[in-house]
């Protein structure tokens, strides 16, 4: 299986893969510190999706996907993931205008 | 629980918090060489025979999280109750250890000067937004 180069495509297809077969789909994150490489893999025994990166910004995207998969795997394939996947965007909006750090 | 019976390498099933401690140690040990794999899987922790016997409706699913560095394997089960807490603690562990990845600014030094000005604000935004969501 070749690596998928677009993050959005990878994220979308991996969620589809899980929903199609929740019991055999797993999500693997491999991190190699000495090479500074991160590989994500989603597979269901038939299909395998992979994404490779060395960029720190992709780690942030991965964090969101982690949360999506946590939600899907704990609450079931029909769980509502709009909150987990869309929350950051809707909440990031007001902070743009905000007065610096909110704490 | 007879995990050791059918596995060559021992799969240690831990509570979420000890798991995170052990994962932190694993990342600490693998900085100079080696990789760490973390797997998420939806699992009922029942054998196939038992699954068929019980039927799909009677099964209780949780999220099995496994981590290995190639020598040792640890695992934990996350239920709906633990999810929020584990999710954020796990993200914290990752953030603390994934610092070998490249930052965007370093890509091109000439361009970086221009891009930096625009991007200087961007990290702040994302930082403050993660604080809000956390």
Alpha-carbon gap, residue B5 to A77, rounded angstroms: 31
Which chain A residues have a beta carbon less than 8 Å from that of B83?
Answer: 70-71, 74-75
Using CA atoms, how far apart are residues B119 and A86, in angstroms rounded to an integer? Answer: 22
Q: A38 at the B interface (CB within 8 A)? A: yes
B24/chain A closest Cα distance in angstroms:
13
pLDDT at residue B1 above 50?
A: no
Give the best residue of A76, A85, A95, A98 to mutate against chain B (max B CB count within 10 A). Answer: A95
C-beta atoms of A33 and B27 within 8 A: yes
Residue A89 confidence (pLDDT): 46
Q: How far apart are CA A29 and CA B80, in angstroms?
A: 21
Cβ distance B73 to B11 under 8 Å? Answer: yes
For position B117, what pLDDT does the model report? Answer: 59
Find the domain containing B27 and state its range: 13-98
- How do residues B12-55 score in pLDDT, each as one tens digit? 899 999 999 999 999 999 999 999 999 999 998 888 888 888 87
Q: Which residues of A touch B61 (CB under 8 A)?
A: 73-74, 76
Distances (CA, A) of B80 to A1, B62, B126: 33, 8, 27
- Tell me the C-alpha to C-alpha distance, in Å, between residue A12 and each of A38, A47, A85, B24: 19, 14, 11, 29
B65 in any annotated domain: yes
What is the chain A residue with the closest CA to B107? A55
Q: What is the pLDDT of residue A32?
A: 96
Mean pLDDT for the stretch of residues A47-63: 94
Residue B105: inside a domain: no
> Which residue is listed with tokens 């209780």?
B60
ipTM surpasses cut 0.90: no
How many residues does the structure list for chain B? Answer: 134
Q: Which two tokens stand for residue B25?
A: 């140690």
Domains of chain A: 2-83 (3.30.720.10)
**pLDDT reported for residue B133:** 47
B114: which residues sit within 8 A by CB, 6+ positions away?
none
Q: What does DSSP say about strands A48-53 and A37-43: parallel, antiparallel, or unpaired?
A: antiparallel
Alpha carbon distance A18, A76 (integer Å) = 10
Chain mean pLDDT for chain A = 85
Residue A68 makes CB contacts below 8 A (sequence gap 6+) with: A11, A15, A81, A84, A85
> The domain spanning residue B64 has which CATH number?
3.30.720.10
Do residues B132 and A102 touch, judged by C-beta distance below 8 A?
Answer: yes
Mean pLDDT over each residue of chain B, to the nearest integer: 80
| Partner-chain residue, chosen from A30, A58, A102, that has the shortest CB–CB distance to B132 | A102
Distance from CA of B27 to the nearest CA of A (A): 8
Number of domains in chain B: 1
Q: Residue B131 falls within a domain, yes or no?
A: no
**Cβ contact, residue pair A95, B61, below 8 Å:** no
What φ, ψ does residue A77 adopt, rounded to 5°? -65, -20
């Amino acid at each position: 299986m070749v690596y998928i180069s677009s993050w959005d495509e990878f994220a979308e297809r991996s969620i589809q893969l899980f929903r199609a077969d929740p019991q055999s789909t797993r999500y693997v994150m491999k991190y190699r510190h000495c090479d500074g490489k991160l590989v994500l893999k989603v597979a269901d025994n038939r299909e395998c999706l992979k994404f490779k990166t060395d960029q720190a910004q992709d780690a942030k995207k991965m964090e969101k996907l982690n949360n999506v998969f946590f939600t899907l795997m704990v609450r079931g394939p029909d769980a509502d993931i709009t909150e987990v996947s869309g929350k950051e965007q809707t909440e990031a909006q007001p902070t743009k205008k905000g007065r610096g750090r909110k704490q | 629980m007879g995990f050791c019976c059918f596995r060559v390498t021992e799969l240690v099933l831990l509570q979420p918090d000890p798991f995170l401690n052990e994962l932190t140690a694993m990342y600490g040990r693998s900085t100079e060489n080696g990789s760490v794999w973390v797997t998420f899987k939806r699992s009922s922790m029942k054998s196939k025979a038992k699954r068929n016997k019980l039927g799909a409706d009677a099964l209780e699913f949780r999220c099995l999280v496994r981590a290995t560095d190639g020598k040792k394997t640890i695992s934990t089960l996350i239920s709906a109750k633990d999810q929020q807490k584990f999710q954020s603690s796990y993200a914290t562990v990752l953030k603390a250890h994934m610092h070998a990845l490249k930052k965007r600014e370093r890509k091109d030094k000439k361009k970086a000067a221009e891009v930096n000005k625009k991007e200087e604000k961007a990290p702040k935004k994302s930082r403050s937004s993660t604080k809000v969501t956390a």
